[in-house]
Copies of this chain bind each other. A is one copy, B any other.
């Protein structure tokens, strides 16, 4: 029921996904009339599950948690908790999804709140940025957890080579950074389960030199939104500028340049650290975009991501003091 378009996007996306993946089944949670009107399943592998409530975009997480236990969001998470589903995908309220995920599924040992992680297109391949705002005021231990959880995420369905991990910082040299980043650098460098590369600055984020960039959620949120803000601004300026034929001529160039800014192309942020697979779709995407999020969830469920993360988190900590 979530996102800007609700079942008008999610229902057709599920229909297409079922057609493309003959070995999966989907449970679609939502208000009955809407679901019935929109879903034209021919696969026989779609189940509609009726819910009397929905979480609204501006519901406060604490409110949703208390008063919306028959919402599509809560019920879908419950299906994962009860073993009736292997993953949950939602385009709804991120804060509510996080709070309900914690309440329904619980977190892995040592994790206080799940981290939010997106893979954004870079010059070569993709870069995975976490945390994106779920955790602020992160200490060095938490940044270290992010590095391990992100490493597990990137190994799911990929090669066994550990991904290259970098810490987002204000400079590349050793002495730079705030207290948490300096202490985290020592932890990451001493951890043999990670391929730690060192610091990375904001202007290097999209260059693909690291597979995984770790940062406090406040910083990651501002970085990602700053990038999105500039992209949107440029597109707006280009649309407003005069000269129709020039604009037409520029189209392929612009498509190439801005293609990788399309949220549908890097859709599906993972909530890492929960005892179950939960993927958050961008609220504004179309059915194709929502399909990416479904694919992300499928890969994470097949790769048993929560078990992998639990394994990496339980690995012995590097023997290194953090008395910075």
- A: residues with CB less than 8 A from B are 60, 123, 133, 136-137, 168, 170-171, 175, 177-179, 181, 201-207, 215, 217-219, 221-234, 237-238, 241, 243, 245-247, 249-250, 252-254, 256-258
Distance between A135 CB and nearest chain B CB, rounded to angstroms: 10
29 contacting pairs across A/B (C-beta < 8 A) = A133-B171, A136-B170, A136-B177, A136-B178, A137-B178, A170-B222, A181-B218, A202-B224, A202-B225, A202-B226, A202-B228, A203-B225, A203-B229, A203-B232, A205-B229, A206-B233, A207-B229, A207-B233, A219-B222, A227-B227, A234-B234, A234-B257, A234-B258, A237-B256, A246-B249, A246-B250, A246-B252, A249-B249, A249-B250
Question: Which chain B positions have C-beta within 8 A of A233?
Answer: 123, 206-207
Alpha-carbon distance between A170 and B123 when the two chains are bound, in angstroms? 26
Alpha-carbon distance between A226 and B203 when the two chains are bound, in angstroms? 5
Question: Which chain B positions have C-beta within 8 A of A230?
Answer: 206, 227, 230-231
Q: Is the CB of A238 within 8 A of B253?
A: yes
Question: Which chain B positions have C-beta within 8 A of A177?
Answer: 136, 218
Alpha-carbon distance between A171 and B133 when the two chains are bound, in angstroms? 9
Distance between A242 CB and nearest chain B CB, rounded to angstroms: 9
Alpha-carbon distance between A123 and B236 when the two chains are bound, in angstroms? 10
Alpha-carbon distance between A233 and B237 when the two chains are bound, in angstroms? 18
Question: Which chain B positions have C-beta within 8 A of A253?
Answer: 238, 241, 243, 246-247, 250
Q: Is the CB of A229 within 8 A of B204?
A: yes
Given contacts A221-B202, A229-B205, whether A250 and B254 have CB atoms under 8 Å apart is yes
Q: Is the CB of A170 within 8 A of B202?
A: no
Q: Which residue of B lies closest to A228 (CB)?
A: B203
Alpha-carbon distance between A230 and B245 when the two chains are bound, in angstroms? 26
Distance between A99 CB and nearest chain B CB, rounded to angstroms: 13
Q: Which residue of B lies closest to A245 (CB)?
A: B249
Alpha-carbon distance between A238 and B237 when the two chains are bound, in angstroms? 17
Given contacts A179-B137, A217-B170, A249-B250, whether A238 and B225 have CB atoms under 8 Å apart is no
Distance between A248 CB and nearest chain B CB, rounded to angstroms: 8
Q: From the candidates B204, B219, B228, B247, name the one contacting A218 in the complex (CB within 8 A).
A: B219
Alpha-carbon distance between A185 and B205 when the two chains are bound, in angstroms? 29
Question: Which chain B positions have C-beta within 8 A of A252?
Answer: 241, 243, 246
Q: From the candidates B60, B170, B179, B237, name the one contacting A257 in the complex (CB within 8 A).
A: B237
Question: Which chain B positions have C-beta within 8 A of A256?
Answer: 237-238, 241
Distance between A300 CB and nearest chain B CB, rounded to angstroms: 25
Alpha-carbon distance between A1 and B230 when the two chains are bound, in angstroms? 34
Distance between A173 CB and nearest chain B CB, rounded to angstroms: 9
Q: From the candidates B137, B204, B207, B222, name the one contacting A202 in the complex (CB within 8 A).
A: B222
Distance between A77 CB and nearest chain B CB, rounded to angstroms: 23
Distance between A234 CB and nearest chain B CB, rounded to angstroms: 5
Q: Which residue of B lies closest to A259 (CB)?
A: B237
Question: Which chain B positions have C-beta within 8 A of A201?
Answer: 221-222, 225
Alpha-carbon distance between A227 and B203 when the two chains are bound, in angstroms? 7
